[in-house]
Amino acid sequence: MPVPAAPAVVVDGLVMRYGDTLAVDALSLRVESGTITAVLGPNGAGKTTTLETCEGYRRPQAGTVRVLGLDPVRDRRALLPRVGVMLQAGGAWSGVRAVEMLRHVAALHAQPLSVDLLVERLGLAECGRTPFRRLSGGQQQRLGLAMALVGRPELLFVDEPTAGMDPAVRRATWDLLEELRADGVTTVLTTHYLEEAERLADHVHVIDRGRLIASGSPFELTRAGGATTIRLVVTEPFPPHAPASLQASLGPATEVTPVNAQSLLITGPADASTLSTVSAWCERHGVLPESLTLGQRTLEDVFLQLTGRELGEPAGGGAR
Ligand SMILES: Nc1ncnc2c1ncn2[C@@H]1O[C@H](COP(=O)(O)OP(=O)(O)OP(=O)(O)O)[C@@H](O)[C@H]1O
């Protein structure tokens, strides 16, 4: 039997604080080799801090981090040629032209990828002679990704890789990351885009307030406890205690989660009986539905059920 490859990243009991803010709260997670693993969570959840610790830019205040079996701070030199890092803030000198910067980074590596190929794949030709500071946000992202890839890393850390990209370039980037996976490259990415995690990731770690709150493949996470959801949106704010009252009408096989004053999520068997119970409840409570939508459960729904908040809402100043 083949021996399973060692995990590419192991984070064990990581704690990171900034003053009084507990940014990462005893976080443990693994990234299996050859996968695309997404770290998903709202703003301020601790994703960037965790990634920066794995990249060796921050020293763990408690707990341990191992990257390709090595300590990212102590073994930084050994890891540098093996790990590609795409920073959120670009990481290039402000006056340097885009392609010039990429050629410079390529020259630092023993067996770089073809710069021309990366320029073509990431649509950088149009801005190749533009100084870094004059690039749009999306162009800076693409250059940052090209710089992370040019050294043929075994492991790639990408922080919000497609933020600010237009939809066509975002899809081209996803294709590129999938090709790298086919070549055995491990990618760890942070994202707010559920579509990105659902489309790309083999494994998703959901983080909130510095803690791991769920982990699994997108399929496992969205299918556990019922594959479908009903979203009820009403024309006026719900009466008090509406979620509890609707929950009592529907029974324990379903779960009612408030989304906001005029919207609820119902998870469980989305059959004719559930739908008719929901409409009868609306009628009894004088509530007029604006929409009653049946859909596949998404990672957004999973996050809402676990935290009571939507992913777009900030984590609220760390874990305290
Ligand atoms: N340099 C810093 N100094 C002080 N507090 C910080 C610093 N960097 C992050 N924080 C705080 O630590 C917490 C976690 O931040 P972090 O950037 O790791 O989260 P994130 O999930 O990556 O968020 P985002 O998606 O906005 O990048 C937040 O409360 C943030 O305000």
The ipTM of this complex is: 0.96
Ligand 1: does its nearest atom lie under 6 Å from the Cβ of 317?
yes
Ligand 1: does its nearest atom lie under 6 Å from the Cβ of 49?
yes
Domain boundary among 221, 241, 260: 221
Are residues 185 and 247 both part of a single domain? no
Query: 0.90 exceeded by the pTM?
Result: no
Q: How far apart are the first and last CA of the chain?
A: 46
Q: How many CA atoms lie within 13 A of 6 on its CB side?
A: 9
Consecutive H or E run containing 143: helix 137-149
Are residues 35 and 175 both part of a single domain? yes
CATH number (domain holding residue 268): 3.30.70.1560
Question: What is the C-alpha separation between 242 and 196, in angstroms, rounded?
Answer: 34
Q: Residue 41 CA: which ligand 1 atom is closest?
A: 21
Helix, coil or strand: residue 107? helix
- The pLDDT confidence band at residue 92, using thresholds 50, 70 and 90, is low
- Lookup: tokens for 79: 């890891």
Number of domains in the chain: 2
Are residues 149 and 288 both part of a single domain? no
Question: What is the C-alpha separation between 271 and 228, in angstroms, rounded?
Answer: 10
Pocket test for ligand 1, best of 11, 49, 159 (most atoms within 8 A of CB): 49
Q: Which residue range forms the structural domain that includes residue 206?
A: 9-221
Digit-coded pLDDT (tens) for 189-201: 998 888 889 889 9
Strands 9-18 vs 21-31: parallel, antiparallel or unpaired: antiparallel
Residue 216 has pLDDT above 60, yes or no: yes
Residue 315 has pLDDT above 90, yes or no: no
Ligand 1: does its nearest atom lie under 6 Å from the Cβ of 48?
yes
Residue 151 counted as domain residue: yes
Could you tell me which of 312, 232, 217 has the C-alpha nearest to residue 267? Answer: 232
Are residues 206 and 70 both part of a single domain? yes
Are residues 241 and 110 both part of a single domain? no
Residue 84 counted as domain residue: yes
Digit-coded pLDDT (tens) for 18-58: 999 999 999 999 999 999 999 998 888 999 999 999 999 99
